[in-house]
Homo-oligomer: A and B are copies of this chain.
């Protein structure tokens, strides 16, 4: 395989991978492009490399910066904005976990808690008890997952993997 062929394959695959996990294809592709680019890239560079529109590029670069996966940087003598990708995959992982935990797991925890405040009537006493118990069990697992992810996304790599390795042996 050629280098450029390999790069393209990686970008396309990363895009599809994102798609399966609720991250839009362009955003994942831009991220992939930055993972394999050592130089700073401008919005136009990204537009050219991936053949996508200015609006699309701008929007997704913004989101990647918000997620902490890209950094805005300046080039001396250039007025244009440039960006650099975070290359450390452990850090990338931690940041993705943080954002998605906040955006998606926490709202569910909120609902699971709310939904347990039901007024019980004489006619549905048993049913209510069972429903609450089931919500509680989902809440418990979600809370444990949430704690784990919080810990994981704040942990320093060595310490974390050292203990994790005992687990996965």
Residues of A near any B CB (own CB < 8 A):
1-3, 6-7, 9-10, 13-14, 17, 19-22, 35-36, 38, 87, 89-90, 93, 103-104, 107-108, 111-112, 114-119, 121, 124, 127-128, 130-131, 134-135, 137-138, 140-141, 144-145, 147-148, 150-151, 160-161, 163-164, 166-169
Residue of A21, A38, A119, A131 contacting most chain B CB atoms (<10 Å)? A131
Chain B residues with CB under 8 A of A6: 115-116, 118, 131
Contacting residue for A135 out of B10, B21, B150, CB 8 A: B10
Contacts of A20 in B (CB 8 A): 22, 103-104
Using CB atoms, name the residue of chain B closest to A7: B131
Task: Report how far A138 CA is from B160 CA in the complex, Å.
Answer: 17
A103 CA to B168 CA, complexed, in Å: 21
A-B residue pairs in contact (CB < 8 Å), sample of 29: A1-B118, A3-B118, A3-B121, A3-B127, A6-B116, A6-B131, A10-B115, A10-B135, A13-B107, A14-B108, A17-B104, A20-B104, A21-B21, A21-B104, A35-B134, A87-B134, A87-B137, A89-B137, A89-B138, A89-B140, A89-B141, A90-B141, A144-B161, A144-B164, A148-B167, A163-B166, A163-B167, A164-B167, A167-B167
